[in-house]
């Protein structure tokens, strides 16, 4: 009974930490966009913020995994959160765009380290039989942040300024870091000693470890990169979402706001249903089904000619996110060796970042040279193609399992 109580407390602490960080992340994201727009009056300067994240991943992830797998994960997460909070406190004091970019780049570097670290820590903390349930709750928390974060940001802008919102998020990040002190130190024997950990030779050897794992686990890698391909295409289409809604569908700002709200409702309802059915499904079926519905939603949105059809597309695609994410998180945790999870996750994220930059630039250029609708339709169609390939792999795997059981 005492052990069950401890497990629930740890789960609640983890989910609370993620909720605080995610809500704060939305507040920070919206506030920073407004600060840059107010200072420069340039939409291009705001676009630069979006490119800083994948570029930070390109710079950080080739060596981050070597660090993550060799230090105490809990203390690393605390260190990253506290450092990000301190850097964030300086942001509103700057007037130079390039100095702001430099600090945002540092914050994004911290995020590139934090995410594979937290995934490794959670995998070590959670036994296999509890992961899918926890991940469904995690998706619910993420969905709640998607709805609550922008709402809190709006209230803060009414009663204060974007600068105050940045300060509030710095406090939230610091508190999230402190909450990790209440979680178990599952690597008490591993110290937070970074000096001498990383060398070029060690990084090369770690790349070789990832390459050898990839060769020996082709199925896992195939699933990972097909899911990533669906995600990358969604980011490319998302980069044109506002332009598509206002310039192609000719929606007013109010109508576009309603569209975003409908997406938020879809995310929340999907996440609630996901918590009910996730444990009754295997991760692969959640991944395959979620990816197909997500892609269909994007295609409906791309082909829409009215607010009503666009709203249906937004609801369908957002509804499916929790299913795909829960299945993917669980599949990843169950199939990637935890001792090298930091290295594998970091290097795979590096490859993702390369494709994100290429796809976003490709979508932007196609929108400029041909048309926005053409770019969105092609992006959504390519996404559906990857989703169908993913579903085919999933169904083939399940049929092989059934055949083996029959024997």
In tens digits, what is the pLDDT along the chain, a chain of 407 residues? 445 455 577 888 888 888 888 888 878 887 887 888 777 776 667 777 778 888 899 999 899 888 888 888 999 999 999 999 999 999 888 888 889 899 999 999 999 999 999 999 999 888 888 888 888 888 888 888 777 777 777 777 777 778 888 888 888 889 988 888 888 888 766 555 555 557 778 888 889 999 899 888 888 899 999 999 999 998 888 878 877 887 888 877 777 777 888 888 888 898 899 888 888 888 888 999 999 999 999 999 999 888 889 899 989 998 998 899 999 999 999 999 888 898 999 999 898 888 888 888 888 888 888 888 888 899 999 999 999 999 988 888 765 554 344 44
Q: Which fold has domain 1-184?
A: Growth Hormone; Chain: A; (1.20.1250)
Q: What is the pLDDT, as a whole number, of residue 139?
A: 87
Question: Cα(129)–Cα(279) distance, rounded to whole angstroms?
Answer: 9
Which of 357-375 are b and which e, b meaning 16 or more Cβ less than 10 Å from the residue's Cβ? bebbeebbebbeeeebbeb
Which of 12-41 are b and which e, b meaning 16 or more Cβ less than 10 Å from the residue's Cβ? ebbeebbbbbbbbbbbbebbbbbbbeeeee
Q: Which of 276, 271, 386 is nearest to 321 (CA)?
A: 271
CB 359 within 8 A of CB 236: yes
> What is the pTM (predicted TM-score) of this model?
0.86
Q: What is the pLDDT, as a whole number, of residue 402?
A: 41
Question: Cα(142)–Cα(47) distance, rounded to whole angstroms?
Answer: 24
Q: Which of 158, 114, 192, 141 is nearest to 326 (CA)?
A: 141
Q: Which of 245, 222, 230 is nearest to 373 (CA)?
A: 245
Q: Domain 199-407, CATH 1.10.10.60 — does that match?
A: no
Question: Cα(155)–Cα(23) distance, rounded to whole angstroms?
Answer: 13
Cα distances (Å, whole numbers) of residue 76 to 146, 169, 295, 343, 404: 26, 20, 36, 15, 43
Ranges of each domain in the chain: 1-184, 199-407
Question: Cα(79)–Cα(85) distance, rounded to whole angstroms?
Answer: 10
CB 367 within 8 A of CB 375: yes
Task: Classify residue 250 as left (phi > 0), alpha (psi -120 to 50) or beta.
Answer: left
Q: What is the pLDDT, as a whole number, of residue 188?
A: 65
- For 56-105, where are the E strands, in sequence order? none
Q: What is the pLDDT, as a whole number, of residue 202?
A: 85
Number of residues assigned to the chain: 407
CB 122 within 8 A of CB 333: yes
Question: Cα(54)–Cα(188) distance, rounded to whole angstroms?
Answer: 33
CB 276 within 8 A of CB 299: no
Question: Cα(390)–Cα(289) distance, rounded to whole angstroms?
Answer: 9
Q: What is the pLDDT, as a whole number, of residue 189?
A: 62
Question: Cα(142)–Cα(148) distance, rounded to whole angstroms?
Answer: 10
Q: Which residues contact 184 (CB under 8 A, 6 or more apart)?
A: 10, 125
Q: What is the pLDDT, as a whole number, of residue 404?
A: 45
The sign of the dihedral angle between the CA atoms of 189, 190, 193, 198 is: positive
CB 306 within 8 A of CB 182: no
Q: What is the pLDDT, as a whole number, of residue 5?
A: 56
Question: Cα(19)–Cα(25) distance, rounded to whole angstroms?
Answer: 10
Question: Cα(207)–Cα(190) distance, rounded to whole angstroms?
Answer: 22
CB 301 within 8 A of CB 240: no
Q: What is the pLDDT, as a whole number, of residue 299?
A: 93
The burial class, CB within 10 Å (0-12 / 13-18 / 19+), for 294 is buried
Start-end of H helices in 304-339: 307-335
Q: Which of 147, 197, 153, 198 is nearest to 172 (CA)?
A: 153
Tell me, yes or no, if the two domains 1-184 and 199-407 fold the same way: yes
Q: What is the pLDDT, as a whole number, of residue 6?
A: 55
Longest dimension (CA), the chain: 70
């Amino acid at each position: 009974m005492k052990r069950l109580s401890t497990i629930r407390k740890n789960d609640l602490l983890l989910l609370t930490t993620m909720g605080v960080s995610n809500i704060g992340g939305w507040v920070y994201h919206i506030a920073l966009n407004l600060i840059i727009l107010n200072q420069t009056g340039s939409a291009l300067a705001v676009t630069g913020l979006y490119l800083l994240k994948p570029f930070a991943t390109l710079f950080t992830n080739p060596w981050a995994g070597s660090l993550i797998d060799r230090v105490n994960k809990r203390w690393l997460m605390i260190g990253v959160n506290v450092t990000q909070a301190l850097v964030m406190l300086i942001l509103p004091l700057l007037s130079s765009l390039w100095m702001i970019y430099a600090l945002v780049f540092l914050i994004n570097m911290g995020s590139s380290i934090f995410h594979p670290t937290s995934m490794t820590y959670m995998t070590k903390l959670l036994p296999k039989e509890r992961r899918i349930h926890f991940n469904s709750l995690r998706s619910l928390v993420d969905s709640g942040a998607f709805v609550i974060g922008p709402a809190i940001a709006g209230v803060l802008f009414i009663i204060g300024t974007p600068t105050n919102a940045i300060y509030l998020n710095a406090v939230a990040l610091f508190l999230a870091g402190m909450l990790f002190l209440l979680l178990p130190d599952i690597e008490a024997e591993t110290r937070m000693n970074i000096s001498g950990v990383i060398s070029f030779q060690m990084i090369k050897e770690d790349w070789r470890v990832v390459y050898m794992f990839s060769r020996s686990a082709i199925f896992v890698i195939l699933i990972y990169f097909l899911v990533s391909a669906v995600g990358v295409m969604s980011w490319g289409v998302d980069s044109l979402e506002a332009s598509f809604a206002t310039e192609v569908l000719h929606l007013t700002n109010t109508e576009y706001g309603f569209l975003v709200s409908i997406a938020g409702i879809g995310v929340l309802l999907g996440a609630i249903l996901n918590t009910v059915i996730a444990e009754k499904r295997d991760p692969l079926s959640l991944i395959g089904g979620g990816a197909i519905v997500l892609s269909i939603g994007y295609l409906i949105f791309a082909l829409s000619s009215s607010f009503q059809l666009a709203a249906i597309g937004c609801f369908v695609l957002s509804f499916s996110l929790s299913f795909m994410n829960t299945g993917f998180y669980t599949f990843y945790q169950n199939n990637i060796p935890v001792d090298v999870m930091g290295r594998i996750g970091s290097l795979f994220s590096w490859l993702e970042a390369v494709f994100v930059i290429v796809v976003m630039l490709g979508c932007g250029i196609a929108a400029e040279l041909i048309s926005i609708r053409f770019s969105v339709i092609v992006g959504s169609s390519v996404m559906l193609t990857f989703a169908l390939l993913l579903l085919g792999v999933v169904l083939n795997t399940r049929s092989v399992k059934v055949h083996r059981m029959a024997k």
